[in-house]
Amino acid sequence: MPDKNSNAKRFPIPLVALLVGALGVLTIAVSTIVMAYSDSEPTTVLYLALVIYIVILALTLAIYFVRKRMKTGDFTEIKGSIFGTLSLDFIQNLYMPVLICDDKGKIVWYNSALSATLHARGVLYGKYLDSICNATIERIMKSEERVEVSFVSAGEIVEENTDVFVAKGYQTVSRGRMYYITIFENVTEEELLQKRLEDEDTLIAYAMIDNLDELLQYVQELYSTAASDVDAILRRHMEKVGGIVREYGHNKFMCVFSKEHLADFTRDRFSMLDDIREIYVGESTLPVTISMGIAVIEGTLYEKERATQSALDMALQRGGDQVVIKSAEGFEYYGGKTKTVQKRTKVRARVIANELLMLLSAAENVLIMGHKFPDFDAFASCLAIWRLARYCGVEALIVTDRETKAIAPCFKRLENMPEYENIFIDKTEAQDMIRSGTLAVVVDVNNIGFCEAPDVVNTVRDVVIIDHHRKTAEFEKKPKIVYIEPSASSVSELLSEFLEQVLLPGTLPKVEADFLLAGMLLDTKMFTKNTGVRTFSSAMYLRGEGASPSDAQAFFKMEIDDFLSEAHFESNVMLYKSVMAIALNENEDNSPSVRINAARAAYRLLNVEGVMAAFTLCRIGDTVHISGRSQSKINVQLILEKMGGGGHFDSAAVQMKSYTVPSALHALQAAIDEYLIENA
């Protein structure tokens, strides 16, 4: 049966019906009383009562239906109109600039705050958003990050005192068209406070005298004078910017200053380096130099300290006499105007040799490699590491390209020697030799991308790097040992010191001693460049192990094709800036061996009167190879480093992919110009 209550709810008696009935009864009662106690005509009374009833009934019904419409939402249009007016008035008087534009960025409305911000710009209706600020509506709507905007005219330069706003966009639809409401919040004060906070951030610089120990070998009593001179110069430069200097160790200083003054130091390219370079000890002709590391990064105090130490290490591994600034974007280098002074002591060499032996002994197997297109120094160094690994009783293989023409005499010399038959593999075979405990040793190169098998080095867990070229970048994966000694003539010199300390006298095979001596002869140009006391000490050791200068020099004999190739460079020479000789080989079908001939030609050009630096360019495949050599006054490493290369003060190189010889020449000339301006 149907529920009575449900029917009642379905057909409720309206309150208005009850009111109408009550009014009717009340009208009849009043009319009856009036007719009973009054002399008025009954008809007149009835008409009057009827009129009053109708008026009251009409008012009651009007009030009922109006309230019903308000409750049921029929009042939406009235309410929307009121709130629309209120919203528009609120936005018009809002303190933040607001504008509405269409989907193409054309302005259709803006408030008084935007007019005040652009008080001299006139009427903005019909103009586009990017004509009044340095942002487009697409950038504002699509960017998920904070969009900073400055109000400028198109092409106008944003000045430092221009107010900065943060723009936020909101999408809306009206009458089927898309519009964007953009609100600008003024964050100028916030930006100024942020900049002030950054400027007042404290930076710590570690500085270290590079060569004072070597300069004071025989004049120890002059140490305090030289060190105090360095301290005075550092203190003078720091006091100019309100900084302080403290000596915290032997030849070591800590400088503290505000970050805002770093721009002052970089602007004058750390002139303190030049001032310190004017210090000489006793009768020495070598100047005192320092290395400095600065870190500009975010993080904890520990992270900042580690980064600062890393920057100092980079400066030292690049040869000293320079400042290295480490930031989130990379490294910046300043200085590096003097050649590295070779250290006399072998203490560090003994420490590194012991660490290397421990790693070799603990390794499951060892993969050894040099740089691509190996030369005698790289080949001999690989053999030296192989000899040390064999001394430790661990399996070791050398990864190299046997087809490289430059080391063909080495393989010819090793023919019919069973001991060396199966120790050379290519980079493809090396992938199959990787195990969980594999140790990779990279020699004569510190840029992993230029080694013989980069994939192998990046795959193994433990890596050792031994080199004598200046370090150009931080390592993605921290090696177990990094022994970079730019003051050494060659890696053959460094590893000869290792062998001397590890092997018993007379146990180094003569052929390996000849290779090491040849590597030293190559990088020193027959002991005429980059030599020091330790260079000749290593040569004496190798001579004692049976190395023959005549046998070592025999590796350098060239074929007639190489002789003519070298002569081709010398027949196409131009002088740049009066002291720079540039030789070109514009052939498109050069063989890889031309690269070696280019380096030889660069050395020969230094014999020309007035030439202080020489560069040779040749194209091999899709890559232009540039070799740079110099006398003692021009740092070719700094020049070619600007082009992505590296090397030594007086010997450097760069490889430029997808370049033609003319375009590489133009880039080289630009790098030379920049270097001369910086070091004017």
Residue-wise pLDDT tens digits, 82-95: 555 666 777 888 88
Express as a percent the part of the chain with pLDDT over 90.
33
Q: Which of 335, 366, 387 is the last residue of a domain?
A: 335
260, part of any domain: yes
- Let me know: does 162 contact 144? Beta carbons within 8 Å: no
Query: What is d(CA 174, CA 464) in angstroms, rounded to the nearest whole number?
Result: 68
Asked if 365 and 480 sit in the same domain, the reply is yes
Domain count, the chain: 5
Residue 7 within a domain: no
- Res 58 pLDDT > 60: yes
Which of 556, 579, 614 is a domain's end point? 556
Averaged over 391-396, what is the pLDDT? 94
Q: What is the pLDDT of residue 16?
A: 56
462 pLDDT above the threshold of 90: yes
Residues 533, 585, single domain; the answer is no
Given a cut of 80, whether residue 541 has pLDDT beyond it is yes
Q: Which has more confidence, 577 or 25?
A: 577
Residues 473 and 546 in one domain: yes
Q: Is the pLDDT of residue 213 over 70?
A: no
Model confidence pLDDT, tens digit, residues 161-190: 578 888 888 888 887 888 898 999 888 888
Least reliable range by pLDDT among 33-42, 54-63, 222-231: 33-42
Least confident of 121-125, 455-459, 535-539: 121-125
pLDDT of residue 543: 93
pLDDT at residue 126, rounded to an integer: 86
The predicted structure's pLDDT at residue 5: 46
Tokens of 64: 């009922």
**Domain closes at, from 556, 587, 602:** 556
Average pLDDT over residues 540-565: 86
Backbone angles phi, psi at 210, to 5 degrees: -70, -50
Sign of CA dihedral 594, 443, 337, 281: negative
CA dist 667 and 658 (Å) reads 13
Report the distance separating Cα 604 and Cα 566, nearest Å. Answer: 10
Residue 282 forms part of a structural domain: yes
The answer as to whether 582 is a domain residue is: yes
CA 37 to chain centre: 109
Residue 229 has pLDDT above 50, yes or no: yes
DSSP symbol at 288: P
**Which helix (H) or strand (E) covers residue 207, if one does?**
strand 202-209
Distance CA 23, CA 6 (A): 29
What token pair was written down for 426? 């290519």
What's the rounded Cα separation, in Å, for the pair 499 and 26?
A: 128
Q: Please indicate, yes or no, whether residues 366 and 488 belong to a single structural domain of this protein.
A: yes
Q: Does the structure show a pLDDT above 90 at 582?
A: yes
Question: What CATH code is carried by the domain that includes residue 260?
Answer: 3.30.70.270
Percent of the chain clearing pLDDT 70 (strictly above):
82
Q: What pLDDT band is residue 333 in, cutting at 50, 70 and 90?
A: confident
609 and 517 within one domain: no
Assess whether pLDDT exceeds 80 at residue 51: no
CATH number at residue 177: 3.30.450.20
Helices (H), 271-346: 272-276, 301-317
Mean pLDDT check: name the lowest of 143-147, 319-323, 611-615: 143-147
> What range defines the domain where residue 172 resides?
91-191
The whole-number pLDDT of residue 649 equals 82
Mean pLDDT, the chain, integer: 83
- What stretches of 488-612 adopt beta strand conformation (E)? 573-576, 580-585
Q: Do the domain assignments include residue 86? A: no
In a domain, 4, yes or no: no
Judgement on whether residues 475 and 549 belong to the same structural domain of the protein:
yes
The CATH number of residue 668's host domain is 3.10.310.30
- Cβ atoms < 10 Å from Cβ of 79: 11
pLDDT at 154: 45
**DSSP assignments along 457-518, one per residue:** HHHSSEEEEEE-SPP-S--SS--SEEEE-TTSS-HHHHHHHHHHHHSPTT-S-HHHHHHHHH
Is 8 domain-assigned?
no
Residues 459, 378 share a domain: yes
Tell me, yes or no, whether 597 and 564 share the same domain: yes
Please name the residue that has the structure tokens 């004999």: 557
Q: Tell me: do 569 and 472 sit in the same domain.
A: no
For β-strands 424-425 and 438-443, DSSP reports them as unpaired
pLDDT at 363: 95
Q: Above 80 in pLDDT, residue 558?
A: no
Whether residues 320 and 215 fall in one domain: yes
Residue 1 lies inside a defined structural domain of this protein: no
Could you count the other beta carbons within 10 Å of the beta carbon of residue 32? 13
* Together in a domain, 280 and 357: no
Rg from Cα positions in the chain = 43
Ranges 2-11, 205-214, 339-348, most confident: 205-214
Going from the C-alpha of 148 to that of each of 128, 530, 571, the distances in angstroms are: 18, 54, 57
Predicted confidence at residue 612, as pLDDT, reads: 92
Answer with the residue of higher pLDDT: 259 or 60: 259
- In angstroms, the CA 384 to CA 400 distance is 14
Looking at per-residue pLDDT, the higher value among 297 and 45 belongs to 297
**pLDDT confidence bin for 627, thresholds 50/70/90:** very high
Spatial neighbors of 182 by CB under 8 A, at least 6 apart, are 98, 99, 100, 101, 129, 137, 140, 167, 168, 169, 170
Longest pairwise C-alpha distance within the chain: 159
Are 487 and 568 found together in one domain? no
Q: Do 100 and 88 meet the contact criterion of CB atoms below 8 Å apart?
A: no
Q: What is the DSSP letter of 138?
A: H
Q: Specify the pLDDT at position 8.
A: 43
* pLDDT 10s digits, 407-440: 889 999 998 899 998 999 999 999 999 999 999 9
